[in-house]
Amino acid sequence: MSVHVEVRNIEQTVLDTSEALAFVDAPGNGAGALFVGVVRDWNQGRKVKGVSYDVFAPLAEQSFAEICAEAREKWGEPCRIFVAHGKGRLEVGGLSIVIAAGSPHRGEAFAVCRYVIEEIKSRSPVWKQEHYVDGDSEWVKGHALCGHD
Protein backbone atom coordinates (compact mmCIF):
# COMPACT_ATOMS: atom_id res chain seq x y z
CA MET A 1 0.00 0.00 0.00
CA SER A 2 1.24 3.47 -0.89
CA VAL A 3 -1.19 5.31 1.37
CA HIS A 4 -1.87 5.06 5.10
CA VAL A 5 -4.85 6.89 6.60
CA GLU A 6 -5.95 6.73 10.19
CA VAL A 7 -7.98 8.36 12.94
CA ARG A 8 -6.14 7.71 16.19
CA ASN A 9 -7.26 8.01 19.80
CA ILE A 10 -4.53 10.39 20.93
CA GLU A 11 -5.41 9.97 24.56
CA GLN A 12 -4.07 6.41 24.22
CA THR A 13 -1.34 6.68 21.57
CA VAL A 14 0.26 9.96 20.51
CA LEU A 15 0.97 10.74 16.87
CA ASP A 16 4.51 9.94 15.79
CA THR A 17 6.41 11.78 13.06
CA SER A 18 9.10 9.11 12.73
CA GLU A 19 6.42 6.52 11.97
CA ALA A 20 5.05 8.79 9.24
CA LEU A 21 8.44 9.41 7.62
CA ALA A 22 9.33 5.73 7.76
CA PHE A 23 6.10 4.86 5.95
CA VAL A 24 6.75 7.23 3.03
CA ASP A 25 10.37 6.17 2.61
CA ALA A 26 11.10 4.11 -0.51
CA PRO A 27 14.22 3.38 -2.60
CA GLY A 28 12.93 5.50 -5.49
CA ASN A 29 11.99 8.47 -3.35
CA GLY A 30 14.57 11.20 -2.92
CA ALA A 31 12.34 13.49 -0.87
CA GLY A 32 10.22 13.27 2.22
CA ALA A 33 8.08 16.17 3.45
CA LEU A 34 6.31 16.37 6.78
CA PHE A 35 3.45 18.52 8.04
CA VAL A 36 2.32 18.53 11.66
CA GLY A 37 -0.59 20.35 13.23
CA VAL A 38 0.21 21.52 16.76
CA VAL A 39 -2.04 22.93 19.50
CA ARG A 40 -0.97 26.53 20.11
CA ASP A 41 -1.56 28.52 23.29
CA TRP A 42 -3.72 31.26 21.82
CA ASN A 43 -6.45 31.85 19.27
CA GLN A 44 -8.17 35.10 18.35
CA GLY A 45 -6.85 36.85 21.43
CA ARG A 46 -7.79 34.11 23.91
CA LYS A 47 -5.35 31.99 25.86
CA VAL A 48 -5.80 28.32 25.05
CA LYS A 49 -4.81 25.49 27.36
CA GLY A 50 -5.99 22.56 25.25
CA VAL A 51 -8.10 21.38 22.31
CA SER A 52 -10.48 18.44 21.97
CA TYR A 53 -10.84 16.85 18.54
CA ASP A 54 -14.13 15.19 17.62
CA VAL A 55 -14.13 12.97 14.53
CA PHE A 56 -16.70 10.91 12.60
CA ALA A 57 -14.03 8.29 12.00
CA PRO A 58 -15.46 6.09 9.20
CA LEU A 59 -16.21 9.02 6.93
CA ALA A 60 -13.08 10.91 7.95
CA GLU A 61 -10.84 8.00 6.99
CA GLN A 62 -12.71 7.65 3.71
CA SER A 63 -12.23 11.36 2.97
CA PHE A 64 -8.51 11.11 3.79
CA ALA A 65 -8.20 8.20 1.35
CA GLU A 66 -10.03 10.13 -1.39
CA ILE A 67 -7.83 13.19 -0.86
CA CYS A 68 -4.67 11.08 -1.00
CA ALA A 69 -5.87 9.41 -4.21
CA GLU A 70 -6.45 12.86 -5.72
CA ALA A 71 -2.95 13.94 -4.67
CA ARG A 72 -1.35 10.87 -6.22
CA GLU A 73 -3.26 11.50 -9.42
CA LYS A 74 -2.03 15.12 -9.49
CA TRP A 75 1.59 14.57 -8.44
CA GLY A 76 2.33 11.04 -9.46
CA GLU A 77 1.82 7.44 -8.53
CA PRO A 78 5.29 7.07 -6.96
CA CYS A 79 4.05 9.29 -4.11
CA ARG A 80 3.65 7.60 -0.77
CA ILE A 81 1.40 9.39 1.72
CA PHE A 82 0.78 8.99 5.45
CA VAL A 83 -2.12 10.75 7.20
CA ALA A 84 -3.04 10.32 10.87
CA HIS A 85 -5.51 12.65 12.60
CA GLY A 86 -6.01 12.69 16.33
CA LYS A 87 -9.27 12.16 18.19
CA GLY A 88 -9.51 13.22 21.82
CA ARG A 89 -8.03 15.95 23.97
CA LEU A 90 -4.58 17.49 23.57
CA GLU A 91 -2.75 20.05 25.67
CA VAL A 92 -0.70 22.90 24.19
CA GLY A 93 2.16 21.52 22.07
CA GLY A 94 0.37 18.26 21.28
CA LEU A 95 0.25 16.95 17.72
CA SER A 96 -3.24 16.90 16.20
CA ILE A 97 -2.35 15.70 12.70
CA VAL A 98 0.68 14.25 10.98
CA ILE A 99 0.98 14.17 7.20
CA ALA A 100 4.02 12.87 5.37
CA ALA A 101 4.66 12.56 1.65
CA GLY A 102 7.50 10.75 -0.06
CA SER A 103 8.25 11.27 -3.74
CA PRO A 104 11.14 11.16 -6.20
CA HIS A 105 11.65 14.96 -5.97
CA ARG A 106 10.98 17.61 -3.31
CA GLY A 107 8.45 19.64 -5.30
CA GLU A 108 5.88 16.89 -5.33
CA ALA A 109 6.40 16.05 -1.66
CA PHE A 110 5.82 19.65 -0.54
CA ALA A 111 2.84 20.02 -2.86
CA VAL A 112 1.20 16.82 -1.66
CA CYS A 113 1.52 17.78 2.01
CA ARG A 114 0.00 21.21 1.32
CA TYR A 115 -2.84 19.77 -0.76
CA VAL A 116 -3.73 17.10 1.79
CA ILE A 117 -3.89 19.43 4.81
CA GLU A 118 -5.88 22.11 2.96
CA GLU A 119 -8.41 19.59 1.68
CA ILE A 120 -8.77 17.93 5.08
CA LYS A 121 -9.45 21.28 6.70
CA SER A 122 -12.32 21.99 4.33
CA ARG A 123 -13.76 18.51 3.64
CA SER A 124 -13.16 16.03 6.43
CA PRO A 125 -15.63 15.52 9.31
CA VAL A 126 -13.42 16.73 12.15
CA TRP A 127 -14.32 19.33 14.79
CA LYS A 128 -12.16 21.27 17.21
CA GLN A 129 -13.22 22.48 20.66
CA GLU A 130 -10.85 24.94 22.30
CA HIS A 131 -10.48 25.03 26.07
CA TYR A 132 -9.38 28.39 27.46
CA VAL A 133 -7.40 29.21 30.57
CA ASP A 134 -10.42 31.08 31.95
CA GLY A 135 -12.34 27.78 32.07
CA ASP A 136 -14.57 28.45 29.05
CA SER A 137 -14.72 26.16 26.01
CA GLU A 138 -15.88 26.84 22.48
CA TRP A 139 -16.28 24.90 19.25
CA VAL A 140 -14.23 26.51 16.50
CA LYS A 141 -16.31 27.94 13.68
CA GLY A 142 -15.44 25.92 10.62
CA HIS A 143 -16.13 25.35 6.94
CA ALA A 144 -19.65 24.30 6.00
CA LEU A 145 -19.60 21.25 3.76
CA CYS A 146 -21.10 21.74 0.30
CA GLY A 147 -24.60 23.26 0.34
CA HIS A 148 -27.84 21.36 0.45
CA ASP A 149 -28.64 19.59 -2.81
Partner 1 sequence: MRVTVKLFGAFRVLGEGLELDVPSNANISQIRAAMMEPAATAELLPTLEVSRFANEREVLAEAATCHPGDVLAILPPVSGG
Among 58, 76, 93, 107, binds partner 1 (CB under 8 A): 58
When asked if residue 123 is in the footprint of partner 1 (CB under 8 A), the reply is: yes
**Site for partner 1 contains 94 (CB under 8 A):** no
Q: 29 or 37: whose CB is closer to partner 1?
A: 37
When asked if residue 135 is in the footprint of partner 1 (CB under 8 A), the reply is no
86 close to 8: Cβ distance less than 8 angstroms: yes
Q: Which residues contact 141 (CB under 8 A, 6 or more apart)?
A: none
Nearest approach in angstroms of CB 34 to partner 1 is 14
Size of the site for partner 1 (CB under 8 A): 33
